[in-house]
Amino acid sequence: MKTEISEELYEKAQRFMPGGVNSPVRACKAVGTVPLFIDRAKGSHIWDEDGNEFIDYVCSWGPNILGHSFEPITAAVKSSCDKGLTFGACHKGEIELAELILKHFPSMEMLRLVNSGTEAVMSAIRSARGFTGREKIVKFEGCYHGHSDGLLVKAGSGLMTQAIPSGAGVTEGCVKDTLLAVFNSEASVEELFEKYGGEIACVVVEPCAANMGVVPPKQGFLKFLREITKKHGALLIFDEVITGFRLSIGGAQSFYGITPDITTLGKIVGGGMPLAAYGGRREIMECIAPLGSVYQAGTLSGNPCAVAAGIAMIKQLESIPDLYKSLDSKAKLLETAMKNAGLNVNRCGSLLTAFFTDKSVESYDEARCCDTEKYARFYRHLLNSGIYTAPSQFEAMFVSFAHTDEDIERTIEAISSFS
């Protein structure tokens, strides 16, 4: 595989951006390769600047559930662009997208459109605090909720990849109200509620964790979170930035049958454009300005081109027959191939991770014990076989509608030949 052009570009990029990247995991430090500079992508395949072609299982970390450059979405964006890139004012598309989202997420009675998952979760937490008048929040080790200060404590994703326990530059004051619980441990949550019950505004959780690698909730865990939050007058926030429109069209809440008070969406909801959302029960959302005193705003929020992409995406998800069944069965084939190759794999729908450890992975501490050197070898083996996956043990593999039988077969062959 030739990587001369990517290497040259990486050299140059490092002069202008920290680590040469605009998001840390992209630097590929954990897998010991040079980051590939992508030129274009179509369907399930991406091409780098050196002309290498790969079957892509990163799919932009989730948004491209229908594959890259899916025509109905790109067409919607193009025609929206022709009418103006941004107005900073109301437009019809916002209503159409809001209606589409609320239809599939009935737990959300109202919502706000924002620009990133980080913003969505940060605003959701502010709303929970404003609504309850309480200050503390509970988050789980290994869950990632974007890079706002109060949530960068034992967070998953890039922090886990680089073994940064909590980010520098985050003051003690910012995290003093963040209480940490252990994913899948009811006892750890009970303990916090016993100690701080009346002070806890919300519990925020990835209903299926996907930022420490994929770690599904144990049977009954989400129901337990629903009950204990209700009992103590705290809100339950499902961070569905990955799982929304992924595990089912109604996200993890429909998949597991648990109703949160507030939901955050990102990634897929923007159809590949920078768009995210948060929403919940009407009485909570009515606390937000201009109706209430919780402030949240955005110059580009509800951007017409991003909204057009979101609308086109959801309409496609609605219209493709058996979409989620087909995603599930493709992912299952990969899971089986990994198991046959002796790998330890967690899967939930079209999200999966091969963990390089003998023990089952149900929480952050178990995920952290993985042999990341071996993962790096696995990554390089796949890359050399023409398969592009996440350059970190602590991320998911994303299967898309665009992956063909042939793609899956080639991937299975590559997995089988790993030793």
Ligand X SMILES: *Cc1c(COP(=O)(O)O)cnc(C)c1O
Catalytic residues: 144, 239, 267
Tell me which of 121, 205, 234, 247 binds ligand X, using CB under 6 A.
121
Q: Which residues of 53-69 are buried (b: 16+ CB within 10 A; e: fewer)?
A: ebbbbbbbbbbbbbbbe
Rg (CA), the chain: 21
- Total number of residues binding ligand X (CB under 6 A)? 14
Only one residue has tokens 């201009």, namely 290
Which of 212/415 has CB closer to ligand X? 212
- Which range of residues in 133-141, 142-150, 163-171, 305-313 is near ligand X by CB under 6 A? 142-150
Chain mean position to CA 297: 22
In the complex, least distance from residue 125 CB atom to ligand X, rounded to whole angstroms = 12
The answer to whether residue 3 forms part of the interface with ligand X (CB under 6 A) is: no
In the complex, least distance from residue 223 CB atom to ligand X, rounded to whole angstroms = 20
- Which range of residues in 6-14, 26-34, 110-118, 219-227 is near ligand X by CB under 6 A? 110-118
In the complex, least distance from residue 302 CB atom to ligand X, rounded to whole angstroms = 16
- Which range of residues in 11-19, 213-221, 239-247, 366-374 is near ligand X by CB under 6 A? 239-247
Report the alpha-carbon distance of residue 356 to residue 314 in Å, rounded: 35
In the complex, least distance from residue 145 CB atom to ligand X, rounded to whole angstroms = 5
Report the alpha-carbon distance of residue 361 to residue 414 in Å, rounded: 24
In the complex, least distance from residue 119 CB atom to ligand X, rounded to whole angstroms = 7
The answer to whether residue 238 forms part of the interface with ligand X (CB under 6 A) is: no
Tell me which of 63, 93, 142, 146 binds ligand X, using CB under 6 A.
146
Q: Residues 266-285: x/- map of binding to ligand X (CB under 6 A)?
A: x---------x---------
The answer to whether residue 154 forms part of the interface with ligand X (CB under 6 A) is: no
CA-wise closest residue to 354 among 243, 206, 214 = 214
The answer to whether residue 241 forms part of the interface with ligand X (CB under 6 A) is: yes
The answer to whether residue 211 forms part of the interface with ligand X (CB under 6 A) is: yes
Which of 174/341 has CB closer to ligand X? 174
In the complex, least distance from residue 243 CB atom to ligand X, rounded to whole angstroms = 8
Which of 146/213 has CB closer to ligand X? 146
- Looking only at Cα atoms, what is the longest distance across the chain? 60
In the complex, least distance from residue 25 CB atom to ligand X, rounded to whole angstroms = 11
The answer to whether residue 353 forms part of the interface with ligand X (CB under 6 A) is: no
Tell me which of 206, 261, 362, 366 binds ligand X, using CB under 6 A.
206
Show the CA angle centred on residue 96, arms to residues 92 and 99, nearest 5°.
Answer: 140
Which of 18/51 has CB closer to ligand X? 18
Tell me which of 35, 117, 310, 391 binds ligand X, using CB under 6 A.
117
The answer to whether residue 239 forms part of the interface with ligand X (CB under 6 A) is: yes
The answer to whether residue 116 forms part of the interface with ligand X (CB under 6 A) is: yes
Report the alpha-carbon distance of residue 16 to residue 19 in Å, rounded: 9
Tell me which of 126, 145, 330, 368 binds ligand X, using CB under 6 A.
145
- Which range of residues in 141-149, 191-199, 282-290, 349-357 is near ligand X by CB under 6 A? 141-149
Tell me which of 144, 183, 278, 356 binds ligand X, using CB under 6 A.
144
Closest residue to ligand X: CB criterion: 117
CA distances from 263 to 101, 285, 321 (A): 11, 11, 26
- Which range of residues in 5-13, 143-151, 183-191, 345-353 is near ligand X by CB under 6 A? 143-151
- Which range of residues in 5-13, 194-202, 235-243, 249-257 is near ligand X by CB under 6 A? 235-243
CA distances from 80 to 43, 66, 98, 162 (A): 22, 20, 17, 39
| Residues at the site binding ligand X, with contacts judged by CB under 6 A | 116-118, 121, 144-146, 206, 211, 239, 241-242, 266, 276
